[in-house]
């Protein structure tokens, strides 16, 4: 099993280091945070300074995982270029195209395959992590033509070892998707929390489940949320426009006809589609990673909502939804 070097030991990086270690791999980490460094070392994990960790990764041909917020990516990539220029490299950043651009500028010889484990928690930092954070979660691995198949497999195996399933996507398709289901929810939660808290104590005294659920992620560290959402600004803008259009249509319908029927019906259908997608029957698909069009075939599995659940030498097993769960229930 390939060794793993994790740069950044917050919630995500700290959980990756724990999960890789728990899977029996050689794994070590580094972080610019003195607090996370001390906490990880106190828990018995191998922590070095960033340059040393990367030199060791180069010497041992380890997979380097960048688990830092987007604003820190460029400076870490410069260090990668200095100490492990041809590293097997992936990341855990919540947006993919800006990281691809940064790698091509600042670590152009790195063998990079983008990653994004879709798990989180309201709390942040090493102490909030766990080896089981990714159990049952989706872990996106970018599938781009010309990708080094060996590194792609390294990343996918790490995700599977961590208990996740792999979703193979085109980076732009990923960024558009997470704008919808991760970044928009954070913006709407912030708007809802501000509207609810802006009219004195009574509304908050009456707040129950719908407000609590709808504002939960507004409790997350706002600087981390900001880096995540702003880093995907190009994909988030049209999604905000979509939401504004729908909210404006709801407002207009309520004002003119007194009806919210269309808004609530479409929302209910959307939520049932989410439930349907999670409960969908699947068929198994086997893919040969060494086929010339392997990356295109992988991207297609992601587009249709499929997930990769096993990898065996050069053959992948994907689960593809079979029933027509995506149609209106």
**Which parts of 180-239 interact with its own copies (CB under 8 A)?**
180-182, 184-220, 222, 225-226, 229-230, 233, 236-237, 239
Q: How far is the CB of 92 from its own copies (least distance, A)?
A: 14
**Binding test (CB under 8 A) with its own copies, winner from 275, 281, 284, 293:** 275
56 binds its own copies (CB under 8 A): no
Q: How far is the CB of 135 from its own copies (least distance, A)?
A: 12
Between residue 241 and residue 260, which ones bind its own copies under the rule CB under 8 A?
241-244, 246-248, 250-251, 254-255, 258-260
268 binds its own copies (CB under 8 A): yes
Residue 24, sorted as left (phi over 0), alpha (psi -120 to 50) or beta, turns out to be left
Residue 273, sorted as left (phi over 0), alpha (psi -120 to 50) or beta, turns out to be alpha
172 φ, ψ to 5°? -65, -35
Q: How far is the CB of 93 from its own copies (least distance, A)?
A: 15
DSSP letter at 169 equals E
291 binds its own copies (CB under 8 A): no
Please identify, using beta-carbon distances, which residue of 2 and 300 lies nearer to its own copies: 300
Q: How far is the CB of 320 from its own copies (least distance, A)?
A: 10
61 φ, ψ to 5°? 55, 45
284 binds its own copies (CB under 8 A): no
Q: Which of 66, 44, 42, 45 is nearest to 54 (CA)?
A: 66
Exposed e or buried b per residue across 307-321, where buried means at least 16 C-beta atoms within 10 angstroms of its C-beta: bbebbeeeebebbbb
Please identify, using beta-carbon distances, which residue of 57 and 239 lies nearer to its own copies: 239
Whole-angstrom distance, CA of residue 33 vs CA of residue 9: 8
Are the C-beta atoms of residues 316 and 310 closer than 8 Å to each other?
yes
Helix, strand or coil, per DSSP, at residue 79: helix
Between residue 130 and residue 189, which ones bind its own copies under the rule CB under 8 A?
137-138, 140, 167, 169, 173-174, 176-178, 180-182, 184-189
Between residue 82 and residue 101, which ones bind its own copies under the rule CB under 8 A?
none
Whole-angstrom distance, CA of residue 97 vs CA of residue 117: 16
Q: How far is the CB of 323 from its own copies (least distance, A)?
A: 12
Whole-angstrom distance, CA of residue 265 vs CA of residue 33: 47
Q: How far is the CB of 248 from its own copies (least distance, A)?
A: 6
Q: Using CB under 8 A, count the residues that bind its own copies.
A: 100
Whole-angstrom Cα Rg for the chain? 21
270 binds its own copies (CB under 8 A): yes
């Amino acid at each position: 099993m390939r060794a793993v070097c994790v740069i950044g030991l917050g919630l995500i990086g700290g959980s990756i280091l724990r999960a890789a270690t728990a899977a029996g791999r050689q794994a070590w980490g580094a972080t610019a945070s003195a607090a996370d460094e001390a906490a990880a070392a106190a828990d018995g994990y191998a922590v070095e300074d960033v340059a040393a960790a990367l030199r060791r990764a180069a010497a041992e041909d380890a997979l380097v995982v960048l688990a830092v917020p987007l604003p820190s990516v460029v400076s870490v990539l410069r260090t990668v270029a200095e100490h492990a220029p041809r590293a097997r490299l992936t990341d855990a950043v919540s947006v993919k195209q800006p990281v691809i651009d940064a790698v091509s500028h600042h670590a152009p010889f790195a063998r990079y395959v983008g990653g994004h484990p879709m798990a989180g928690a309201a709390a942040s930092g090493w102490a909030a992590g766990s080896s089981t954070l990714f159990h049952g979660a989706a872990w996106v691995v970018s599938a781009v033509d010309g990708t080094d198949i060996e590194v792609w497999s390294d990343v996918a195996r790490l995700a599977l070892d961590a208990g996740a399933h792999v979703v193979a996507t085109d980076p732009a398709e990923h960024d558009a998707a997470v704008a919808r289901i991760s970044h928009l929810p954070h913006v709407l939660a912030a708007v809802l929390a501000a509207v609810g808290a802006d009219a004195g104590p009574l509304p908050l005294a009456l707040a129950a489940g719908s407000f609590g659920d709808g504002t939960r992620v507004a409790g997350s560290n706002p600087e981390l949320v900001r880096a995540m959402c702003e880093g995907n600004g190009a994909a988030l803008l049209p999604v905000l426009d979509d939401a504004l259009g729908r909210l404006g249509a709801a407002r207009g319908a309520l004002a003119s006809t007194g009806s919210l029927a269309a808004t609530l019906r479409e929302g209910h259908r959307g939520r049932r589609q989410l439930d349907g997608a999670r409960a969908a029957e699947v068929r198994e698909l086997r893919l040969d990673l060494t086929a010339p069009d392997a990356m295109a075939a992988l991207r297609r599995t992601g587009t249709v909502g499929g997930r990769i659940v096993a990898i065996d030498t050069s053959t992948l097993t994907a689960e593809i939804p079979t029933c027509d769960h995506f149609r209106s229930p």
